[in-house]
């Protein structure tokens, strides 16, 4: 074999989600689009706000194409970065300028760039289970080692004692993801405060920074106005990885940003390391048209009421059927306990009813599946009789 073995392994395994996504496409083609209930992929079902489409059309009509589609600075167009910085300042009261914003090709790019900017071979990165599977890929690419902190039972909040025990001299960074994929849980302000206190204490103890990376593609997708603490207000050595994939329903356009906390020690140097990491991974600049689009739509958000309706409909019915699940405050996922011996068996049985759900063993918590409810309401309504049958198979339904 003369190619890179680990790249091949990654490519041939693919993520379980992508695998189901491909299966789903084939299955829909075979038996009909509306006969398959695909809850596998976090592909937003709510249309982008009208302002997005208007921005694409008007920018395309108004601007000189060579300007609109030309290279921007590697870190992003200056005016776009200023719009992002001002938005962070206005919303969260953080004193940040364009010099600390780096536009990216979405959340995955943000995270791989940040990890590459910070990590040396063998550094450890703590993630909180359940966690988005690709974290392990990006951490490995940066030469780091993933360390998984177990959650509090049932609530899926952070288990502070477990977390504290995982921090070692080699801990370079911690990734926090709230609202969480796959649990939908939002970490409380108390949890965040406690995490930051522990990190401050441990940083002092080990005599070096421990960075807190907030991966927040789901920030805008929260229900009942629940508060999502902005990490820069709690911890100086923090970096925010943001994406417009969910907030503007633009996942395929790959647009997001990295915001480096200016209050951090050596923040200017770390911003430069981010620039260097982006360069080394082959990111020349974030897509130019969509940089302009998000700047024009900086205060716009996707309508979240359809997601909330879906959540309530699915959560209420599934728990009625006897499935066990934490009620999510954000994102668009239900994290359901497998009533079978393991998550894969549950996934296989659900598949027989054309219900495509994601077994979450790779997410760091065994025995759970993720159900992405970013689908048409009709899909949920039509799927309910099959979820009921599935519950009956497992004898969950109380008569």
235 lies in the site for a copy of itself, by CB under 8 A: no
Closer to a copy of itself by CB, 172 or 370: give it.
Answer: 172
Closer to a copy of itself by CB, 45 or 317: give it.
Answer: 45
Segment interacting with a copy of itself (CB under 8 A) among 151-159, 250-258, 341-349, 363-371: 250-258
21 lies in the site for a copy of itself, by CB under 8 A: yes
Closer to a copy of itself by CB, 6 or 316: give it.
Answer: 6
Closer to a copy of itself by CB, 165 or 280: give it.
Answer: 280
Q: Measuring CA to CA, which residue among 190, 215, 174, 217 is closest to residue 331? A: 217
Q: How would you write the chain as a 3-class SS string? A: CCCCHHHHHHHHHCCHHHHHHHHHHHHHHHHCHHHCEECCCCCCCCCCCHHHHHHHHHHHHHCCHHHHCCCCCCCCCHHHHHHHHHHHHHHHCCCCCHHHEEEECHHHHHHHHHHHHHCCCCCEEEEECCCCCHHHHHHHHCCCEEEEECECCCCCCECHHHHHHHCCCCEEEEEECCCCCCCCCCCCHHHHHHHHHHHHHHHHHHCCCCEEEEECCCCCCECCCCCCCCHHHCCCCEEEEEECCCCCCCHHHCCEEEEECCCCCCHHHHHHHHHHHHHHCCCCCCCHHHHHHHHHCCCCCCCCHHHHHHHHHHHHHHHHCCCCECCCCECCEEEEECCCCCHHHHHHHHHHCCEECEECHHHCCCCEEEEECCCCHHHHHHHHHHHHHHHHHCCCCCC
Q: Do the beta carbons of residue 238 and residue 195 sit within 8 Å?
A: no
251 lies in the site for a copy of itself, by CB under 8 A: yes
Among residue numbers 278 through 297, which ones bind a copy of itself (CB under 8 A)? 278-291
Q: What's phi and psi for 242, nearest 5 deg?
A: -115, 155
Q: Do the beta carbons of residue 355 and residue 390 sit within 8 Å?
A: yes
Of positions 34, 35, 53, 303, contacts a copy of itself by CB under 8 A: 53
- With CB under 8 A as the rule, give the number of residues binding a copy of itself: 93
In the complex, minimum distance from the CB of residue 67 to a copy of itself, in angstroms, rounded to a whole number: 9
Segment interacting with a copy of itself (CB under 8 A) among 50-58, 155-163, 213-221, 321-329: 50-58
97 lies in the site for a copy of itself, by CB under 8 A: no
Segment interacting with a copy of itself (CB under 8 A) among 14-22, 93-101, 304-312, 320-328: 14-22
Closer to a copy of itself by CB, 184 or 256: give it.
Answer: 256
Of positions 27, 81, 166, 172, contacts a copy of itself by CB under 8 A: 172
Of positions 137, 298, 384, 397, contacts a copy of itself by CB under 8 A: 137
46 lies in the site for a copy of itself, by CB under 8 A: yes
89 lies in the site for a copy of itself, by CB under 8 A: no
In the complex, minimum distance from the CB of residue 266 to a copy of itself, in angstroms, rounded to a whole number: 7
Binding mask 188-227 for a copy of itself (x = CB under 8 A): --------------------xx-x----------------
Residue 34 token pair: 């509306």
Q: What's phi and psi for 78, nearest 5 deg?
A: -60, -40
Among residue numbers 113 through 132, which ones bind a copy of itself (CB under 8 A)? 113, 116-120
Segment interacting with a copy of itself (CB under 8 A) among 57-65, 161-169, 220-228, 389-397: 57-65
Among residue numbers 370 through 389, which ones bind a copy of itself (CB under 8 A)? none
Segment interacting with a copy of itself (CB under 8 A) among 17-25, 154-162, 216-224, 352-360: 17-25
The position carrying tokens 């395929």 is 252
Closer to a copy of itself by CB, 187 or 244: give it.
Answer: 244
Closer to a copy of itself by CB, 12 or 305: give it.
Answer: 12
146 lies in the site for a copy of itself, by CB under 8 A: no
């Amino acid at each position: 074999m003369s190619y890179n073995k680990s790249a091949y392994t990654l490519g041939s395994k693919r993520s379980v989600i992508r695998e189901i996504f491909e299966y789903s496409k084939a299955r829909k083609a075979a038996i009909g689009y509306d006969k398959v209930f695909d809850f596998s992929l976090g592909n937003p079902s709510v249309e982008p706000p009208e302002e997005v489409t208007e921005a694409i059309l008007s920018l395309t009509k108004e601007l000189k194409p060579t300007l609109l589609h030309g290279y921007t600075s590697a870190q992003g167009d200056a005016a776009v970065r200023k719009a992002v910085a001002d938005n962070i300042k206005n919303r969260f009261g953080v004193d940040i300028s364009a010099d600390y914003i780096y536009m990216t090709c979405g959340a995955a790019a943000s995270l791989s760039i940040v990890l590459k900017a910070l990590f040396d071979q063998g550094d450890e990165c703590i993630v909180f289970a359940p966690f988005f599977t690709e974290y392990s890929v990006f951490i490995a690419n940066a030469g780091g080692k993933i360390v998984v902190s177990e959650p509090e039972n049932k609530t899926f909040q952070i288990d502070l004692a477990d977390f504290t025990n995982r921090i070692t001299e080699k801990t370079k960074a911690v990734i926090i993801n709230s609202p969480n994929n796959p649990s939908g849980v939002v970490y409380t302000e108390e949890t965040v405060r406690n995490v930051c206190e522990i990190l401050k204490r441990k940083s002092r103890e080990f005599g070096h920074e421990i960075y807190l990376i907030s991966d927040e593609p789901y920030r805008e997708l929260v229900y009942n106005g629940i508060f999502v603490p902005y990490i820069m207000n709690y911890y100086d050595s923090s970096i925010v990885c943001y994406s417009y994939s969910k907030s503007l329903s633009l996942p395929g356009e790959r647009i997001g940003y990295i915001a480096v906390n200016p209050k951090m020690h050596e923040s200017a140097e770390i911003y430069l390391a981010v620039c260097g990491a982006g360069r080394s991974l082959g990111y020349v600049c974030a897509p130019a048209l969509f940089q302009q689009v998000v700047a024009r739509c900086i205060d716009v958000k996707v309508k979240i009421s359809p997601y909330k309706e879906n959540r309530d409909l699915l959560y209420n019915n599934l728990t009625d059927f006897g499935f066990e699940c934490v009620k999510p405050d954000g994102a668009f996922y239900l994290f359901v306990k497998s009533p079978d011996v393991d998550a894969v068996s549950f996934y296989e049985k659900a598949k027989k009813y054309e219900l495509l759900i994601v077994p979450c063993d790779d997410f760091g918590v065994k025995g759970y599946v993720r159900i992405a409810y970013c689908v048409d309401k009709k899909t949920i309504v039509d799927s309910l009789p099959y979820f009921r049958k599935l519950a009956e198979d497992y004898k969950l339904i109380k008569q």
